[in-house]
Chain A
Amino acid sequence: MSGVPGATPFARSVWLILRKDLTVEVRSREIAYTTLFFAASCVLIFAFALVREGRAPEGGAAGILWIAVLFAGTLALGRAFERERQSETLRALLLSPMPRPAIYLGKLLGIVALLAGTELVLVPLVVLLFSARLFAHPFWLLGIVITATVGIAAVGTLFAAMLVRARSRDVLLPVLLYPVVVPVIIAGVQGTAALLQPVFEPALVRFWLLLLVTFDIVFVVLALWTFEAVMSD
């Protein structure tokens, strides 16, 4: 239940936004196709540039995976909010009695779902092109991928919503987003690289994973806290 009288319950609002975003995406497939094409192109170009005689530089696969996810995520974030801007539907959401943090969380989960779909193709592509043994430790990989994706999307969703009325939003989004998510990318790259070491060290992977979980908690809590103020006026 929402604690605010007259407000639509929080969990229901999150589900409504998520379901609506996914329905719109299933109809248009615009974000899925563009992010997937962009991310796959990115990985392919790096593979041609860096892989020599079937061997990639150490840690290369991890770095390229997260660069591709970050760039694809920026594309997805921009487009997801551009949709809400075109028919001013973001205004309609803000005018509804749905709790505004629930709107944020619904949009965040939608972005995470879209990026997860891209990663389903991207990770096997990196494994294939870089001969990276990422699937040797699937549960650790899943943990790193999910937490790093949430970290990128948590900050990105807040910034994309903030910039929705800015004229140069396409330029400003990466300018604002990348410096803030550098810790997430570093942790994601290091955690993924740790999975590729000849001698697997669970303690090292756990460290990076915990760091990512911490970033996620901090970013999501801060975003939930500030979203109402950011979107007012």
Chain B
Amino acid sequence: MSPPPASRADAFDFPFVAVSDVSRAFGRRRALSRVSLRVDQGQILGILGPNGAGKSTLLAILATLLRPTSGDVRYGTLTATDGAALRARIGVLGHDLFLYPELTARENLEFFASAHGLPHPPEAARTALTRAALDERADDPVSAFSRGMRQRVALERALIHRPRLVLLDEPFTGLDDASAAALLARLRALRDDGAIVIVATHDLDLADGLLDHALFLRDGRVAASMARPEGLRSTYQNVMTRALGSAT
């Protein structure tokens, strides 16, 4: 029997994430400039923009790995200063997969389940492996996996503790069509389950129809923000052309 899922409804849960006027500089370079956004539970926000637009910096700030130079981020009534209690409710799938290549898929998942204080890590790992369709390869080292398989393990690693806030940086990279479709279905299921999902991606075709809200970033600034964007590729091109025009 699967262990009961960790409850999201406790004192440290949050129904929305709000970013207000957040800027972040690295030395003299400004990676983000006065970015604001709000995402409620049960929504998927797409952060779209070219390389160097500030997408990963924004995700790192939301993940509490970076502090904003100015502005603030609120997770309901919580802030990054709530530390471990807040981190326990955030799941991150980075461009790097955050997996130990020497360990097996099962060991990786059990380790991160334990790190998140789940009561039955082996059960949680087993469930996650089934979701990733990797039961057969559970005891193979991750270094022996293809990029797509590693991506699936990494996704389960990020979601093993049923986070309220799910942050995904280029999650479609290296996935074949079937895996990408499975990931899209998983993201929709997370939304239906009440998670707050934020996806930074270049894969506009895959993200088309998925997003409840899109934030277009260019040179660290918000170029546009829209609800339920349609025809994502043409919208993206129009927004970026406009942003480039106003910048010059």
Q: What residues of chain A have their CB less than 8 Å away from a CB belonging to chain B?
A: 2, 4-9, 12-13, 16, 20, 23-24, 27-28, 83, 86-89, 91-99, 232-233
A88-B96 CB under 8 A given contacts A9-B117, A20-B111, A94-B65: yes
A89-B117 CB under 8 A given contacts A6-B84, A94-B65, A95-B92: no
B193 CB to nearest chain A CB (Å): 20
B171 CB to nearest chain A CB (Å): 15
B103 at interface by CB-CB < 8 Å: yes
A16-B85 CB under 8 A given contacts A87-B96, A97-B116, A233-B67: no
- Give the residues in chain A near B11, CB-CB below 8 Å: 5
B54 at interface by CB-CB < 8 Å: no
- Give the residues in chain B near A4, CB-CB below 8 Å: 83-85
Q: Find out whether the CB atom of B115 lies under 8 angstroms from the CB atom of A13.
A: yes
Interface residues on B, range: 20 to 34
Instruction: Tell me which of A88, A93, A95, A99 has the highest count of chain B C-beta atoms within 10 A of its own C-beta.
Output: A95
A20 to B102 CA separation, bound complex (whole angstroms): 10
The 0/1 profile, CB within 8 Å of A marked 1, for residues 102-120 of chain B is: 1100010001101111000
Q: Find out whether the CB atom of B98 lies under 8 angstroms from the CB atom of A27.
A: no
B22 at interface by CB-CB < 8 Å: no
Q: Find out whether the CB atom of B87 lies under 8 angstroms from the CB atom of A89.
A: no
Return the 5 tightest CB-CB contacts between A and B, nearest first: A6-B85, A7-B84, A92-B98, A88-B96, A97-B88
B122 at interface by CB-CB < 8 Å: no
- Give the residues in chain A near B97, CB-CB below 8 Å: 87-88
A130 to B108 CA separation, bound complex (whole angstroms): 45
Instruction: Tell me the residues in window 1-59 of chain B with beta carbons closer than 8 Å to chain A beta carbons.
Output: 11-12
- Give 10 CB contacts A-B under 8 Å: A2-B84, A5-B85, A6-B84, A91-B92, A91-B98, A95-B98, A96-B115, A96-B116, A97-B88, A99-B84
Other-chain contact of B85, A7, A9, A13, A94 (Cβ < 8 Å): A7
Q: Find out whether the CB atom of B85 lies under 8 angstroms from the CB atom of A28.
A: no
A83 to B20 CA separation, bound complex (whole angstroms): 36
- Give the residues in chain A near B112, CB-CB below 8 Å: 92, 96
- Give the residues in chain A near B182, CB-CB below 8 Å: none
Q: Find out whether the CB atom of B65 lies under 8 angstroms from the CB atom of A95.
A: yes
Q: Find out whether the CB atom of B98 lies under 8 angstroms from the CB atom of A7.
A: no
A87 to B97 CA separation, bound complex (whole angstroms): 6
- Give the residues in chain B near A12, CB-CB below 8 Å: 114, 117
A10 CB to nearest chain B CB (Å): 11
A16-B94 CB under 8 A given contacts A4-B83, A5-B85: no
A4 to B98 CA separation, bound complex (whole angstroms): 24
- Give the residues in chain A near B87, CB-CB below 8 Å: 6, 95-97
